Amino acid sequence: MSPSSRSSQSPPAEIGVDAVSAPDAGADPGTDDPALWSVIAPVRREIRMAMALAVVGGIAWIASILLILPIARELTDDSPDTGRLWWLVAAGLAAVLLAFLSRSFSFRASHLGAFRLEQLLRTELTDHLAEVPLGYVVTEGSGTLKKIVLDDVRSLHAFVADSTPLFARAIAAPLLGLVAMFVLDWRLALLSLAIVPLGIVAMFFAFRDYEDGRREVDAANERMNTIVNEYVQGMHVVRLFDDGSESYRRYRTALDETTRTLKEWNEKSQGGVYVARTLFSALPTVLILLAVGIPMYRSGRVDFPMLATFLALGPTVIESVLPLVWLQQPIVRASASVKRIERLRAVDRQSRPESGRAPLDGSVEFRDVSFRYDGRADDALSGVSITMEEGTVTALVGRSGAGKSTVAQLIPRFWDTDAGAVLVGGVDVREMTPEQLMGSVSFVFQSPFLLDDTIAGNIRLGDPDATDDEVEAAARAAQAHEFIVADLPDGYDAIVGERGSSLSGGQRQRITIARAILQDNPIIVLDEATAFADPDNEFKIHEALAELARGKTLIVVAHRLSTITDAHQIVVLDEGRVVECGRHADLVAQEGRYARMWSQFHDAQEWRLRSARGDVLDEVAAEAST
């Protein structure tokens, strides 16, 4: 037997399901899935070794069964050769030991191979992530990517570590058994296989509607999955509109649907599956062998030891058919994961020159840039040309979806343009190395990212060689020094805690600004909305940003128009095009789109919530006084 497969963490529930419902995908042997085999190619050596050892184990096992024949012959002999008999028992012991050792080593080889594969794949994938467009990384999100790199890679384990040797064995052992049976006695061999045609007919009936049913069940499960997520995420809304039934309805409907589909599927396939399972178990074959074997023995056409050997061997060969069927499950599961892994691998890496061209100054230029997100019908940007001189402030404005965030993201090369070019310091961003580009452009538009490291370590990410004094100076400039020293027990050596959760949003934001200050890049890209994630600390963040932007080329995605009235140029975007560009006063005077936005902005600023009654406080006061 193969030692426990417990180190595989995925619940091997499918075996259980199959024991009651149906063996999976019998009609579609997924063993041929080329993607699966190509993913495991790096550990081919270990897997081959494991499979070879498993074959040896299977052979030794069949051999130990075959030893029944000579042993039984000696035992039933009137004058048994005692010495030979003990040698045979010793041979049995040797076969059993060999079977045992080869299986243990096979297990070891396949598991160590599987673990090595996990690490290899993860390293490869994280390497890959470092070179794909950052926009892809941001869009997919850390949750999805983590799931691929961790969970999908992990779900290969059941296949690589457990299925491969089991497969080799499940094929080798019955094959050898079959050969042995025909060599020993072809009549009994045929009898042993008599059940197979019946079983195949039963399987045919069992699987006739199986695939369709399976698809329906999968679809119902998928829907259940979605609804559960929705139900959980929307729980605060669910409760708010809870009248005892309605909000629960979507969940309940999905649940009913899943249950009904499952019931129907079972109803349809249950009979055939049951018959197939019964036929491929040991006892029916024992029965057939005896029914014909007894008269054969009595008429002297077969001797007792031969019959006994077949009674052990025949059912063993028959029984090994079913594992072949349920072994498909890990493959089916792994295939889905392999698809996701392959999809990630297929994301094109951005071209990166070995030795790039360094930017000449702190300017940024968009030259006739067009860009479209994958899978979208419309251009996010079309024919955009903007020039941002070194040391100037450019504000990008427009309604949501106008393309202002896309402009901001193209500068640090989150995506590559479809047409035109983005130039930083006069050099096409595609001709720069990542270090050159990232050494020129800082951006503050993600939710602030902090490592689970010390405060100083987090700030130093901007410049690994910075001295303590430089780190502190940056923190002071970012208005962070004060709270670091006053609020954190270990000051700069305080560990930030899991994903920075021990700090408020504004504090985290200021640490990332300190990092950017230390980085001292000539170009700063800023998203105003996320920069002010914590409105309570707005004032301090203002100060920090002013420090960061001093003397730099600043590109800001603006939401509150009042903050950018002094900008050197305001670029108004609409549906991916630059519709207006100029200074505040000029744009207002043009009475175009910007002027409209400006007046809307003012209206929004002036908005007040109104009370249904104005005399309330007097009442409260009156009540309080009584």
Partner 1 sequence: MITTFRQLIDACGSKADLMRRSLVLSFLSAITQGLAYALLFPLFRALVDDADDVWRYFAALVGLIVIDAALRFAETRLVTRMYIEVAFETRSDLGQQLKRMPLETLAKRTTGDLNHVLVGNVNDVVAIAGGMFSVLINIIVAPSVTVAATFFVDWRLALAMLVLFPLALPLYRLIRRQGARDTRLTTEAHADTASHLVEYVQGLPVLRATRQVGRRAERLQSSLRRLRDAQREGVEIGTIPSVLMAALVQLGIVVIAAVAVGLTLNDRLDAAAAVAVIVIAIRFSEPLAMFANMSVMFDFMQAAVERISEILSVPPLPTGVGGHEPAGAQVEFRDVTFAYDGSDDVLNDVSFQVPERSLTAFVGTSGSGKTTVARLLTRFADPRNGVITVGGVDVRDLTQERLMNEFSVVFQDVYLFDDTIAENLRLAKPAASDAELVAAARAANCHDFISALPQGYETTVGEIGGALSGGERQRISIARAVLKDAPVVILDEPTSALDTESEAAVQRAIDALVADKTVIVIAHRLSTIVAADQIIVLEAGRIIECGDHDRLLGEDGRYTQMWRAQQSTRHWQIVSA
Q: How far is the CB of 366 from partner 1 (least distance, A)?
A: 20
Q: How far is the CB of 238 from partner 1 (least distance, A)?
A: 7
Q: Of the two residues 404 and 420, which places its CB atom closer to partner 1 in the complex?
A: 404
CB 426 within 8 A of CB 360: yes
CA distance 111 to 158: 9
Q: Of the two residues 228 and 485, which places its CB atom closer to partner 1 in the complex?
A: 228
Q: How far is the CB of 378 from partner 1 (least distance, A)?
A: 11
Q: How far is the CB of 34 from partner 1 (least distance, A)?
A: 27
Q: Of the two residues 393 and 429, which places its CB atom closer to partner 1 in the complex?
A: 393
CB 454 within 8 A of CB 492: yes
Q: How far is the CB of 370 from partner 1 (least distance, A)?
A: 20
Q: Of the two residues 235 and 589, which places its CB atom closer to partner 1 in the complex?
A: 235
CA distance 421 to 367: 5
Residue corresponding to tokens 């251009």: 379
Q: How far is the CB of 200 from partner 1 (least distance, A)?
A: 19
Q: How far is the CB of 294 from partner 1 (least distance, A)?
A: 6
DSSP labels, 225-250: HHHHHHHHHTHHHHHHT-SSSHHHHH
Q: Of the two residues 33 and 386, which places its CB atom closer to partner 1 in the complex?
A: 386
Q: How far is the CB of 303 from partner 1 (least distance, A)?
A: 10
DSSP labels, 32-87: G-HHHHHHTGGGHHHHHHHHHHHHHHHHHHHHHHHTHHHHHHHHHSSS--HHHHHH
Q: How far is the CB of 445 from partner 1 (least distance, A)?
A: 9
Q: Of the two residues 205 and 231, which places its CB atom closer to partner 1 in the complex?
A: 231
CA distance 386 to 389: 10
Q: Which residues pair with 393 in a beta bridge?
A: 554
Q: How far is the CB of 539 from partner 1 (least distance, A)?
A: 5
Residues 6+ apart with CB under 8 A from 228: 251, 254
Q: How far is the CB of 327 from partner 1 (least distance, A)?
A: 14
CA distance 77 to 499: 78
Q: What are the φ and ψ backbone dihedral angles of 385, each rounded to 5 degrees?
A: -125, 120
Q: Of the two residues 489 and 614, which places its CB atom closer to partner 1 in the complex?
A: 614
CA distance 509 to 515: 10
Question: Which of 166, 496, 177, 492 has its CA nearest to residue 318?
Answer: 177
Structure tokens at 88: 């045979």
Q: How far is the CB of 368 from partner 1 (least distance, A)?
A: 26
Q: Of the two residues 176 and 420, which places its CB atom closer to partner 1 in the complex?
A: 176
Q: Of the two residues 376 and 469, which places its CB atom closer to partner 1 in the complex?
A: 376
Q: Of the two residues 115 and 182, which places its CB atom closer to partner 1 in the complex?
A: 115
Question: Which of 547, 553, 579, 549 has its CA nearest to residue 568?
Answer: 553
C-beta pairs of 270-274 under 8 Å, 24+ apart in sequence: 270/21, 270/22, 271/205, 271/206, 272/202, 272/203, 272/204, 272/205, 272/206, 272/207, 272/208, 273/21, 273/22, 273/23, 273/206
CA distance 337 to 341: 6
Question: Which of 392, 448, 437 has its CA nearest to residue 410?
Answer: 437
- 443: number of CA atoms within 13 Å, CB side? 22
Q: How far is the CB of 272 from partner 1 (least distance, A)?
A: 12
Q: How far is the CB of 602 from partner 1 (least distance, A)?
A: 9
DSSP labels, 312-362: HHHHHHHHTHHHHHHTHHHHHHHHHHHHHHHHHHHSPPPP--SS-PPPSSS
Q: Of the two residues 37 and 251, which places its CB atom closer to partner 1 in the complex?
A: 251
Q: Of the two residues 149 and 517, which places its CB atom closer to partner 1 in the complex?
A: 149
CB 302 within 8 A of CB 188: yes
Q: Of the two residues 486 and 607, which places its CB atom closer to partner 1 in the complex?
A: 607
Q: Of the two residues 468 and 536, which places its CB atom closer to partner 1 in the complex?
A: 536
Structure tokens at 277: 């399972």
Question: Which of 61, 494, 506, 141 has its CA nearest to residue 320?
Answer: 61
Pairing of strands 441-444, 523-527: parallel
